[in-house]
Amino acid sequence: MTESDEITTALAVIDATLSGEAVGPEHAELAELSLLLADGREAPEASFAASLDQRAARRFGPEPIPGERSPRQRARWRWMFAPAATVGLAAIVALIFVLGSGSGPRPLVQLYKGLSSGPAVRGAAASTSTASASAASPSGSASAPAAGASLGTKSGNGVIASPAPTPSTSGRQIVQSAQLSLSTPPSRVDSVAQQVFDVVAAQHGVVQNSNVTATTSYGNAQFALSVPSANLSATLNALSQLRGASVVSRSDATQDITGQVGSAGRQLAEARALRTALLRQLAAASTAAAVSSLKSQIRDVDAAIARNLSTLQSLHHQVAYSQIQVVINSVGIPGLPISGSGGFTLHRALHDAGRVLVVAAGVALIALAVLVPVALLVGIGLWLAAALRRRRREQVLDLI
């Protein structure tokens, strides 16, 4: 008989003995040993058994204190408070989200924009419209920024409109200018361009030139605006809040031309004084040659006065009117409603809902990409720890 057979037989004898079945006389010793081992089973003392029964009846919870809620009651309270706590936590997160962003719906749009990949190209039918200057203005001989010129720039996707910085003039002659870059879906370029015209008209400014190109898949518009400097801040604020457009970047520049104005004024005054003196000399002139010479000088002085006057007026105009360059580019997916883009429709709501789901899926995917390796590492760590713990436990069996 092989050892395997012996083992099988012995195990069968043990099981039969423990089941109360009869075994052959050749296995009597093993059967007796089995019965003696089973009979040697220790029973717990009655006091311990009673104590353990009591603890089991309490489900091994702590001793009940009169007036205190039982574990079951506490569990029920926890169950009741869990949804409230979850809602409260969500509200706090939402509040932080809103306060951190400064406005309500825009962050979602920004998030969406961050995830979306540039403008989608659509079909073909294009319509182009070009508008020329609607009003002439004196050509400001814009010289290079002199000392004292300053430039401020803001840029970024979806810049929230903020008040334009206004330089403190305090008697100085300051030329102000600004550049504004807006983004809008291609389908809204026309609408946004029209709003630019409306804003300029409302602020008593002029559109020096404009160029608007809009197709179903692409749109672009450029404007050169001149608005009263007193209205520059209001104009920029209005342009930053056009419906359907968001600010990509904004630059504000100032140039102090007090020196140039003073110089032009002095030259004008000198020319006028010279003219007055020449007129007096002319009144006192007695010879034809002297009269002719004086008249010639007076004509020259008149021309100089006219030039100085023109220069001075130009400088005053530059101070009084600020130049604004506005560029509108189409970005994003056509039809995406940007903050403040008008009425609510079921189609838009469904569209928004779809986008929200896309964004949520994207966020979930990113989170998954981070969490899966982390979870894998944690899982391996836990598995190793459990294996180590088990091994240590098992070791004691070999040592005792």
Partner 1 sequence: MKRPLLRSEVVIDSQTLAVEPDAASSWERLEALYRSSRDDVYAYVATMLRDRLAAEDVTALAFERAFRKRRSFDRRRGEERAWLFGIARNAALDELRRRRRLATLVTEPEDTEGATVEDGAEVALRRTTVLGALAQLPAREREVVALKFHAGFSNAELARVLGISETAAGTLLYRTMEKLRKACHD
Rounded Cα gap, residues 252 and 165, in angstroms: 8
DSSP 8-state symbol, 128: E
Nearer to partner 1 (CB atom), residue 14 or residue 207: 14
Min. distance of Cβ 71 from partner 1 in angstroms?
Answer: 11
Q: Of the candidates 5, 39, 369, 374, which one interacts with partner 1 according to CB under 8 A?
A: 39
Min. distance of Cβ 80 from partner 1 in angstroms?
Answer: 19
Min. distance of Cβ 397 from partner 1 in angstroms?
Answer: 4
- As beta bridge partners, residue 219 has 214
Nearer to partner 1 (CB atom), residue 51 or residue 143: 51
Nearer to partner 1 (CB atom), residue 11 or residue 121: 11
Min. distance of Cβ 86 from partner 1 in angstroms?
Answer: 20
Degrees, nearest 5: CA angle 238-172-165? 25
Long-range contacts of 303-310 (CB under 8 A, 24+ apart): 304/267, 304/271, 305/268, 305/271, 305/272, 305/275, 308/264, 308/267, 308/268, 308/271, 309/268
The pattern of x and - marking residues 51 through 90 that bind partner 1 according to CB under 8 A reads: -xx-xx--xx------------------------------
Q: Of the candidates 11, 93, 135, 146, which one interacts with partner 1 according to CB under 8 A?
A: 11
- Strand order, beta sheet including 321-330: 126-129, 206-215, 219-228, 321-330, 174-184, 246-256, 150-159
Nearer to partner 1 (CB atom), residue 35 or residue 234: 35
The continuous run of DSSP H or E covering 329 comes out as: strand 321-330
Closest CA to 220 of 178, 179, 245, 183: 183
Nearer to partner 1 (CB atom), residue 40 or residue 66: 40
Min. distance of Cβ 22 from partner 1 in angstroms?
Answer: 9
Nearer to partner 1 (CB atom), residue 6 or residue 68: 6
Number of residues interacting with partner 1: please give it, by CB under 8 A.
43
Asked if 226 contacts 322 with a C-beta cutoff of 8 angstroms, the reply is yes
Residue with tokens 């672009």: 220
Asked if 322 contacts 229 with a C-beta cutoff of 8 angstroms, the reply is yes
Asked if 278 contacts 304 with a C-beta cutoff of 8 angstroms, the reply is no
User: Applying CB under 8 A, does 347 fall inside the site for partner 1?
Assistant: no
The pattern of x and - marking residues 110 through 139 that bind partner 1 according to CB under 8 A reads: ------------------------------
Nearer to partner 1 (CB atom), residue 74 or residue 390: 390
Q: Of the candidates 24, 28, 44, 76, which one interacts with partner 1 according to CB under 8 A?
A: 44
Q: Which of residues 17-36 bind partner 1 (CB under 8 A)?
A: 18-20, 29-30, 32-36
Rounded Cα gap, residues 252 and 244, in angstroms: 23
Rounded Cα gap, residues 343 and 31, in angstroms: 91
Nearer to partner 1 (CB atom), residue 56 or residue 346: 56
User: Applying CB under 8 A, does 45 fall inside the site for partner 1?
Assistant: yes
Q: Which two tokens mark 387?
A: 């294996």
Written as one string, the DSSP assignment of 24-66 is -GGGHHHHHHHHHHHHT-----HHHHHHHHHHHHTTT-PPP-T
User: Applying CB under 8 A, does 398 fall inside the site for partner 1?
Assistant: yes
Asked if 311 contacts 167 with a C-beta cutoff of 8 angstroms, the reply is no
Q: With CB under 8 A as the contact rule, which of the stretches 8-16, 120-128, 259-267, 290-298 interacts with partner 1?
A: 8-16
Rounded Cα gap, residues 180 and 235, in angstroms: 11
Q: With CB under 8 A as the contact rule, which of the stretches 101-109, 258-266, 347-355, 385-393 interacts with partner 1?
A: 385-393
- Residues in touch with partner 1 (CB under 8 A): 6-8, 10-11, 14-15, 18-20, 29-30, 32-45, 48-49, 52-53, 55-56, 59-60, 390, 392-394, 396-400
